[in-house]
Amino acid sequence: MDIFVIRGGTPLVGSIALAGAKNVALKALVASLLTDEPLILSGVPLIRDVALMGELLAGLGRKVIFNEHTVRIEKDGKDSFQVPLELGARLRTSSMVLGPLLARRGEAIIPNPGGCRIGARPIDRHIEGLVKMGADISYHSEDGYFHARAKKLTGVTYEFPKNTHTGTETLILAAVLAEGTTVLRNAAQEIEIDDLIALLNSMGAQITRSDTREITIKGVPSLHGGAYSIMPDRNEEVTFAIAAAVTGGRITITNSQHEHLEAFLDAFRKAGGTAEVEGATTTYASGGALTAVDVTTAPHPGFMTDWQAPWAVLMTQAKGSATIHEAVFESRFSYVPELKKMGADISFFDPPVENPEVFYNYNWSDRVPGFHPAIRIAGPTHLHNAVVNITDLRAGATLVLAALAAQGESYVHGIEHLDRGYEAFETRLSQLGAQLKRINEE
Ligand code: EPU
C-alpha cells in the first residue's frame, strides 16, 4: 500500500487544468453498451474507477482502448450480461449497466454496488423505476447478485421519491432504447447528468430536460457511435480552490467550471476567499482572514455533499464557529476523527429538523445508530502533523489539504481511495509547490 508523506506549510501557487469529470466519464463508458458502433470519448480522467469500468466493459464484450485521455470502446465479439462480484463490489457505478443490458440483452446479473463507503447507499429508487418499466428484478442474498430480466422495457412516467443522481442516470440509460416515452419526474439536476444526456443525444437518443426537475426520453430503436468530449470536473475545482485558501496560496483554474459552482462560490466569498473569474479561468486565494460560514448540503444547485469535507478544512482556518449539516448521505464524516488528530476543534451535534424523513436525502430508516448529521468547527486552529487514514474519496482530499496546511510532516494512509477519483493528485499538487511524495509502505 502506498502512502503520502506531506510536509505542510508551503503556499500552493500556480495554474492547473481540471481533469475530465469522473462522475460523467464513468456513465459515458456505460453508455458505450448502448451501441455496437465504436464510441470515442475524450477528456477521460486517468483514475482507478475509470480503469475498473474499463475492465467491467471488457468482461461484457467490449474492447476498451486507452490513448492518454481518449478512450475508444468497440464491440469485441464475446458477450456477457454478468458483472463479476469482485469488480462490482469495487465500483459504485457498476449497477448502471442494468439499463443497457436489460434494454439490449433482456437480462443482467449485477452485484450489490460497492464504491465509497459513505453510508448504506442502496439502489432501491433505481430498481423501483426499472421495475415500473417492465423489468423483473430480485436480489439473491445467497449469491450477492441482483438478477434482472425484461422481455422489453416500456416507457413510463416515474416520479423519484427523493433525489438520486445515479438513479436518474440509470433510468435514462434504460429508457433511451425502451418502447415509447419515459418521463422522469423529480429527476436530479446535477449538471453531470446533462453532460450524459448531451452524449446520448449525440448518439441518436431523444432526451430533453422538459422542466427543471423533469426529463423526457423518447425511446429510439438504436443508437450509433460517435465521439464526445467529457466536461471538466467541478469537484476538483472546489478541492483546488480550498487548497489555495488554506495554504495561503493562489491557484488559477484554466478550464474553470465556475458557472456550475454558484453555491460554493457564494459560501467561499462569504468566508473571505477570493475567486476572480476571467473568461474560462478562475483564480482562487484566501484573501486574508477567513470567517466561519455555515453550510447545509443539498443536491445541485445547492451546496454539494462532495464539497463539505474539504470545506471543513477551510473552516478550521476561519474565525468563529461554523456548522456543516450533511443532508444527502447519512455517513460522510469519516474525516472528522482524523482532522481532530491534527488539532481541529470539531464536535458532532443534532440540528433540530422538523420533518427528517422528508428533509434528508437518504432513507431515514438507513441512518446508523450513534450517527450525528452535523458538525461544529471552532476556528481558527493551527493544524499540526499527524498520521491519518483515508476511508473515502472526498475525505481523502480533505486530509491531504489539511496536511498541506499543517505544520510538520504528516503521513496519509489509504490513498488508494484518492486514486479512485483524482488523476495524478500528488504530481499536480507538486507542480503547485506542494511538498509531498508517494512512498510504498513496505
Ligand atoms: N439513495 C437511496 N436509494 C437510492 C438512491 C439513493 O437511499 O436508490 C440515497 C443515497 O444513499 C444517498 C442519497 O440518496 O444518501 C443521494 O444519493 P444519490 O443517488 O444522489 O448519490 P449517488 O448517485 O450514489 C452521486 C455521485 C456522488 C455524489 C452524489 C451527489 C457518482 C458515481 N456518484 O452518488 O459522488 O456525491 O451523486 O451528487 O456519480 C464522489 O464523487 O465522491 C461521489 C460520492
CA distance 278 to 300: 24
Answer yes or no: 161 catalytic.
no
| Grid cell listed for 246 | 488554506
Choose which residue among 328, 330, 394 to substitute to test ligand 1 binding: the one with the highest number of ligand atoms within 8 A of its C-beta.
328
State if residue 301 touches ligand 1 by the CB under 6 angstroms criterion: no
Choose which residue among 164, 260, 392, 419 to substitute to test ligand 1 binding: the one with the highest number of ligand atoms within 8 A of its C-beta.
164
Predicted confidence (pLDDT) at residue 120 exceeds the cutoff of 90: no
| Grid cell listed for 429 | 499538487
Q: What's the pLDDT band for 70 if we cut at 50, 70, 90?
A: very high
Between the CA of 164 and the centroid of ligand 1 the distance, in Å, is 6
Mean pLDDT score of the chain, rounded to an integer? 95
Q: Phi/psi class of residue 134: alpha, beta or left (left: φ > 0; alpha: ψ in -120 to 50)?
A: left
pLDDT of residue 331: 85
DSSP string, 97-127: GHHHHHHHHSEEEEEPP-S--SS----HHHH
pLDDT of residue 144: 83
State if residue 422 touches ligand 1 by the CB under 6 angstroms criterion: no
Residues 6+ positions from 157 with CB-CB distance below 8 Å: 182, 183, 185
Predicted confidence (pLDDT) at residue 118 exceeds the cutoff of 60: no
* Mean pLDDT value of segment 325-343: 96
Between the CA of 323 and the centroid of ligand 1 the distance, in Å, is 22
- 3: amino acid identity, one letter: I
pLDDT of residue 269: 98
Residue whose CA lies nearest to ligand 1 atom number 14: 362
Closest CA to 240 of 283, 294, 197: 283
State if residue 92 touches ligand 1 by the CB under 6 angstroms criterion: yes
Nearest-atom number in ligand 1 for the CA of 116 is 44
| Grid cell listed for 80 | 456477457
Q: What's the pLDDT band for 114 if we cut at 50, 70, 90?
A: low
State if residue 306 touches ligand 1 by the CB under 6 angstroms criterion: yes
- Residues of the chain with pLDDT > 90, as a percent, come to 89
CA distance 188 to 183: 13
* Mean pLDDT value of segment 257-283: 98
Q: What is the pLDDT of residues 156-214, one digit of tens each?
A: 999 999 999 999 999 999 999 999 999 999 999 999 999 999 999 999 999 999 999 99
Write phi, then psi, for 142 (nearest 5 degrees).
-70, -30
Q: What's the pLDDT band for 143 if we cut at 50, 70, 90?
A: confident
Nearest-atom number in ligand 1 for the CA of 23 is 39
Nearest-atom number in ligand 1 for the CA of 126 is 8
Closest CA to 297 of 357, 373, 246, 378: 373
* Mean pLDDT value of segment 313-334: 96
Predicted confidence (pLDDT) at residue 119 exceeds the cutoff of 80: no
Q: What is the pLDDT of residues 299-314, one digit of tens each?
A: 999 999 999 999 999 9
| Grid cell listed for 255 | 478550464
- Residues of the chain with pLDDT > 70, as a percent, come to 98
| Grid cell listed for 357 | 424523513
pLDDT of residue 387: 98
Between the CA of 78 and the centroid of ligand 1 the distance, in Å, is 32
Instruction: Check residues 92 and 432 and name the one with the higher pLDDT.
Output: 432
| Set 39, 53, 116, 150: catalytic member | 116
Closest CA to 325 of 345, 342, 300, 350: 350
Between the CA of 179 and the centroid of ligand 1 the distance, in Å, is 28
CA distance 371 to 366: 11
Q: What is the pLDDT of residues 16-64, one digit of tens each?
A: 999 999 999 999 999 999 999 999 999 999 999 999 999 999 999 999 9
Residues 6+ positions from 108 with CB-CB distance below 8 Å: 81, 82, 83, 97, 98, 101, 102, 146, 148
Task: Tell me, rounded to whole angstroms, the distance of Cα 141 from its chain centroid.
Answer: 27
